[in-house]
């Protein structure tokens, strides 16, 4: 035994002999049970025999003294008396960093000491009344279990006479150190899994395919059998080992099984922004979001989950401008930014962009967006562009906003679910009843782009007026913070040619047709252009801007509203006014063309043609016509001259009346 005590480890058998050599077997069995329950931190199996470290905190102080002074032949009784005398001389608790307790352990240990003191005090005072000390102790246990000490009972629960007596023995042997009564189930448990087994288990457990623990254990046992490992444990042992390993190495577990993005989202610390250092409009954040409800695609007529690009003010979390389109593209971003600037009332200093497809896509003959002018367009308005870290949700504040945006998506009748698990029953296979109810509810109707825009705008207003419960806006509404920093406004002309949808159109008699509406400007009248380039805003559709194929500006064409079929009888004053305006415009255009043409005909075309015909003698002009042409114009008579002869006047009047009657 001296050879064993000379090393750092001591076997459980030798420890049992030191504690109680006379009752060795019972003591050894108790120590083994405590080791299996994890009471000894350093417990390990070596060739089938259990060993623990000599300095293990679970070894009683008196036994540690015997082990340390084995070379001095200090007996157990001498060690007890030595420890008691030391404690009596110095009543300060022993400070050992290895024996530091958690808050829960310390509270339970102090509660046990309080219960033990009450137990001893009651038995001492009531021993004469109950006949003996033992009877008084039993009586105390009955009173305690009937909640005579409610505070202690809530912390410790029901106890037996033997348990309290065991606490008394441990407390006395430790020199009245309260830490000896602390529960040991929170201490680290020793494992019987060998390093070779651990290596196989962890490699299978960290598979990126994310196998279940039961699958890992089953496959590992098959490998152990194939490799002829000795002393293969039960599946429950390996399962507990993997669960403990996961808790200890959770960062490795997440990275290997779920990837780097999950490591960023779940494990790594994040930077906290100080929003007090920026003002409204300093930074606006953009991101794309696939809507979780279906909209009729205006180009195909089929329902589709479209994409919304949104710009959000970072300071106030105020939703600014947005656009909805079948795909996330560069022009959608430009349109949303234009609307954001108009609502913000000033130009932003920084535009914080997502690293998605639209912001890094290729367009216009395959030119990369970063070199195709879109960044230049942003910088032209005085804004710097910052691109978010790819797949890093913490760097894009707008993504948290989209979680709240799911509220309006769930209100839409064509809601398709925010995930596969949360999709409505009508989209699942075999749900005929839910499908029929959905079709009956929709009545063959659908949600178009304009309806979607109206719903989104309504919810944005609701969100902006809602006081936030947490975050940097806690207690304030986004609209309140936004109103304090909103700009005075910007000139729309500076944004028109930069941030509008583009399309090639043909000019017809009534102008340009767009969205079943005509757009007209006098600059388009009388031109035979086969194609022109137009720029427009889907929402602000009162006018469109027309350019030639070279990109030169032609005009701003206004929308032409349709007139009432019977405005003068059935229409309102507005209908009559609109009709008169369009008639006057048509008449003025006619006079402009017809008047100029007649004058040009009389002054230029007719004289030139007559001269040409005369020279080549194609047409013979008779003498009467020649005289008529060459005769000078007669001088008009005055009123007195015309009405000098009353009989002549009377005859002319009668002739005119008779001719009118015959006609």
- CA pair distance 507, 524, nearest whole angstrom: 8
Instruction: Give the residue with greater pLDDT, 481 vs 265.
Output: 481
- CA pair distance 352, 94, nearest whole angstrom: 58
Say if 275-412+447-485 and 500-560 have the same CATH topology: no
Parallel, antiparallel, or unpaired: how do β-strands 49-53 and 319-325 relate?
unpaired
- CA pair distance 563, 180, nearest whole angstrom: 96
| Backbone φ, ψ for residue 131 (5° rounding) | 100, -30
Determine whether domain 275-412+447-485 maps to CATH 3.30.420.10. yes
User: CA 290, 291, 293: angle at the middle one, nearest 5?
Assistant: 140
Question: Which residue from 99, 139, 103 is spatially nearest to 119, judged by alpha carbons?
Answer: 139
| Backbone φ, ψ for residue 416 (5° rounding) | -115, 5
Comparing 80-94, 295-309, 316-330, 494-508, which segment has the lowest mean pLDDT?
80-94
The beta-strand segments (E) located in 496-636 are: 501-505, 507-508, 511-514, 517-520, 532-536, 543-547, 553-560
User: CA 552, 558, 564: angle at the middle one, nearest 5?
Assistant: 155
Q: What mean pLDDT comes out for the span 603-624?
A: 59
Parallel, antiparallel, or unpaired: how do β-strands 350-353 and 384-387 relate?
parallel
Give the contacts of 382 (CB within 8 A, at least 6 positions apart). Answer: 347, 349
- CA pair distance 426, 442, nearest whole angstrom: 13
- CA pair distance 67, 19, nearest whole angstrom: 11
- Residue identified by tokens 């427009």 is 536
Q: Is-contact 482 316, C-beta < 8 A?
A: yes
Residue ranges of the alpha helices (H) in 90-149? 103-130, 133-145
Which residues share a beta bridge with 474? 468
Question: Which residue from 306, 304, 340, 347 is spatially nearest to 322, judged by alpha carbons?
Answer: 340
- Dihedral, 174, 176, 178, 183 alpha carbons, nearest 10: 40
Q: What is the pLDDT of residues 69-90, one digit of tens each?
A: 664 444 444 444 444 444 444 4
- CA pair distance 29, 450, nearest whole angstrom: 80
Instruction: Give the residue with greater pLDDT, 311 vs 566.
Output: 311
DSSP annotation of 99 reads: G
Instruction: Give the residue with greater pLDDT, 82 vs 321.
Output: 321
Q: What is the pLDDT of residues 44-72, one digit of tens each?
A: 888 778 888 888 878 877 777 777 766 44
**Three-class SS of residue 279?**
coil
Q: What mean pLDDT comes out for the span 369-391?
A: 62
Label residue 194 by pLDDT band (50, 70, 90). Answer: confident
Q: Is the pLDDT of residue 3 over 70?
A: no
Other beta carbons within 10 angstroms of residue 462's beta carbon come to 11
**Three-class SS of residue 394?**
helix
Q: Is-contact 241 216, C-beta < 8 A?
A: no
Q: What mean pLDDT comes out for the span 333-343?
A: 85
- CA pair distance 649, 640, nearest whole angstrom: 12
Label residue 242 by pLDDT band (50, 70, 90). Answer: very high
Q: Is the pLDDT of residue 229 over 70?
A: yes
Q: Where along the chain do its domains lie? A: 1-90, 195-266, 275-412+447-485, 500-560
For residue 67 the two structure tokens come to: 């082990």
- CA pair distance 19, 24, nearest whole angstrom: 8
- Dihedral, 278, 283, 289, 292 alpha carbons, nearest 10: 40
Label residue 646 by pLDDT band (50, 70, 90). Answer: low
Residue 183 region, left (φ>0) first, then alpha (ψ -120 to 50), else beta? beta
Give the rounded distance of the alpha carbon of 197 from its chain centre: 42
Q: Is-contact 149 157, C-beta < 8 A?
A: no
Q: Is-contact 375 385, C-beta < 8 A?
A: yes
**Three-class SS of residue 232?**
coil
Parallel, antiparallel, or unpaired: how do β-strands 283-290 and 9-11 relate?
unpaired
Instruction: Give the residue with greater pLDDT, 61 vs 657.
Output: 61
Q: Is-contact 586 579, C-beta < 8 A?
A: no
Give me the pLDDT at residue 643, please. Answer: 46
Q: Answer positive or negative: Cα dihedral of 446, 450, 452, 454.
A: negative
Q: Is-contact 582 570, C-beta < 8 A?
A: no
Q: What is the pLDDT of residues 248-301, one digit of tens each?
A: 889 899 999 988 888 877 888 877 788 888 899 899 988 888 888 888 887 777
DSSP annotation of 308 reads: E
Binning the chain into helix, strand and coil, the percentages to the nearest 5 are 55, 15, 35
Give the rounded distance of the alpha carbon of 129 from its chain centre: 73
Query: Where does 500-560 sit in CATH, by number?
Result: 2.30.30.130
- CA pair distance 114, 134, nearest whole angstrom: 19
DSSP annotation of 27 reads: H
Question: Which residue from 157, 51, 54 is spatially nearest to 108, judged by alpha carbons?
Answer: 157
Give me the pLDDT at residue 217, please. Answer: 94
Residue 147 region, left (φ>0) first, then alpha (ψ -120 to 50), else beta? left
Q: Is the pLDDT of residue 653 over 70?
A: no
For residue 95 the two structure tokens come to: 């400070």
Give me the pLDDT at residue 368, please. Answer: 43
Give me the pLDDT at residue 221, please. Answer: 93
Q: What mean pLDDT comes out for the span 191-211?
A: 89
Other beta carbons within 10 angstroms of residue 437's beta carbon come to 13
Other beta carbons within 10 angstroms of residue 183's beta carbon come to 14
Q: What mean pLDDT comes out for the span 551-567?
A: 75
Q: Is the pLDDT of residue 207 over 80?
A: yes
Mean residue pLDDT of the chain comes to: 75
For residue 394 the two structure tokens come to: 């913490």
DSSP annotation of 238 reads: H
Give the contacts of 326 (CB within 8 A, at least 6 positions apart). Answer: 297, 299, 304, 306, 307
Parallel, antiparallel, or unpaired: how do β-strands 295-296 and 303-304 relate?
antiparallel
Q: Is the pLDDT of residue 424 over 90?
A: no
Give the percent of the chain with pLDDT over 90: 12
Give the percent of the chain with pLDDT over 70: 67
The beta-strand segments (E) located in 199-345 are: 283-290, 295-296, 303-304, 307-313, 319-325
Residue 351 is inside which H or E element, if any? strand 350-353
Q: What mean pLDDT comes out for the span 489-501?
A: 67
Instruction: Give the residue with greater pLDDT, 563 vs 84.
Output: 563
Q: Is the pLDDT of residue 634 over 60?
A: no
- CA pair distance 5, 13, nearest whole angstrom: 12
Comparing 324-328, 404-408, 539-543, 564-568, which segment has the lowest mean pLDDT?
564-568
Q: Is-contact 425 434, C-beta < 8 A?
A: yes
For residue 284 the two structure tokens come to: 């606006």
Give me the pLDDT at residue 174, please. Answer: 86
**Three-class SS of residue 266?**
helix
Q: What is the pLDDT of residues 137-181, one digit of tens each?
A: 899 999 899 988 888 898 899 999 999 999 999 998 888 888 888
Give me the pLDDT at residue 98, please. Answer: 44
């Amino acid at each position: 035994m001296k050879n064993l005590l000379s090393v750092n480890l001591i076997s459980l058998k030798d420890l049992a002999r030191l504690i109680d050599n006379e009752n060795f077997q019972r003591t050894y069995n108790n120590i083994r049970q405590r080791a299996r329950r994890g009471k000894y931190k350093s417990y390990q199996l070596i060739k089938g025999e259990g060993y623990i470290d000599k300095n293990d905190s679970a070894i009683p102080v008196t036994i540690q003294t015997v082990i340390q002074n084995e070379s001095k032949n200090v007996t157990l009784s001498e060690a007890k008396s030595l420890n008691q005398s030391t404690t009596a001389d110095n009543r300060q608790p022993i400070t050992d960093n290895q024996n530091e307790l958690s808050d829960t352990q310390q509270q339970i240990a102090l509660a046990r000491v309080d219960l033990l003191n009450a137990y001893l005090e009651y038995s001492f005072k009531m021993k004469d009344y109950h006949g003996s000390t033992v009877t008084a102790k039993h009586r105390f246990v009955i009173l305690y279990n009937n909640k005579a000490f409610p505070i202690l009972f809530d912390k410790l629960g029901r106890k037996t006479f033997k348990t309290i007596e065991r606490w008394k023995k441990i407390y006395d042997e430790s020199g009245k150190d309260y830490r000896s009564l602390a529960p040991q189930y929170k201490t680290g448990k020793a494992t019987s899994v060998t390093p070779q087994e651990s290596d196989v288990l962890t490699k299978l457990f960290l598979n990126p395919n994310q196998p279940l623990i039961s699958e890992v254990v089953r496959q590992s046992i098959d490998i152990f059998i194939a490799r002829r490992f000795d002393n293969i444990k039960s599946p429950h042992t390996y399962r507990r080992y993997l669960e403990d390993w996961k808790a200890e190495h959770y960062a490795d577990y997440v990275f290997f099984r779920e990837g780097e993005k999950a490591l960023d989202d779940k494990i790594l610390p994040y930077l906290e922004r100080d929003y007090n250092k920026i003002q409204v409009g300093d930074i606006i954040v953009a991101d794309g979001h696939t809507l979780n409800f279906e909209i009729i695609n205006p180009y195909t007529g089929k329902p589709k989950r479209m994409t919304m690009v949104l710009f959000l003010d970072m300071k106030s979390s105020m939703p600014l401008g947005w656009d909805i389109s079948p795909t996330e593209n560069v022009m959608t971003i430009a349109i949303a930014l234009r609307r954001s600037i108009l609502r913000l009332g000033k130009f932003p200093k920084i535009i914080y962009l997502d690293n998605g497809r639209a912001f890094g896509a290729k367009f216009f003959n395959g030119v990369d967006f970063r070199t195709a002018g879109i960044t230049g367009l942003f910088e032209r308005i005085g804004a710097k562009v910052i691109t978010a870290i790819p797949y890093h949700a913490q760097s894009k504040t707008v993504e948290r906003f989209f979680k709240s945006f799911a509220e309006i998506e769930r209100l839409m009748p064509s809601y398709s679910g925010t995930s596969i698990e949360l999709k409505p029953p009508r989209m699942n296979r075999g749900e005929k009843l839910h499908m029929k109810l959905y079709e009956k509810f929709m009545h063959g109707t659908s949600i178009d782009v304009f309806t979607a825009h109206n719903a989104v705008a309504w919810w944005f207003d609701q969100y902006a007026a809602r006081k936030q419960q947490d975050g940097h806006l806690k207690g304030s509404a986004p609209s309140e913070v936004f109103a304090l920093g909103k700009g005075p406004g910007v000139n729309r002309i500076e944004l028109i040619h930069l941030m509008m949808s583009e399309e090639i159109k043909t000019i017809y008699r009534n102008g340009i047709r767009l969205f079943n509406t005509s757009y007209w400007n006098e600059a388009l009248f009388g031109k035979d252009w086969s194609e022109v380039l137009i720029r427009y805003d889907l929402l602000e559709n009162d006018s469109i801007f027309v350019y030639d194929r070279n990109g030169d500006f032609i005009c701003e064409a206004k929308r032409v509203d349709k007139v009432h079929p019977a405005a003068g009888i059935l229409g309102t004053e507005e209908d009559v006014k609109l009709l008169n305006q369009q008639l006057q415009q048509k008449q003025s255009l006619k006079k402009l063309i017809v008047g100029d043409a007649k004058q040009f005909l009389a002054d230029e075309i007719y004289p030139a043609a007559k001269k040409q015909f005369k020279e080549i003698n194609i047409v013979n002009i008779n003498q009467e016509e020649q005289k008529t042409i060459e005769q000078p114009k007669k001088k008009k008579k005055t009123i007195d001259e015309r009405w000098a002869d009353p009989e002549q006047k009377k005859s002319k009047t009668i002739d005119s009346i008779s001719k009118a009657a015959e006609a």
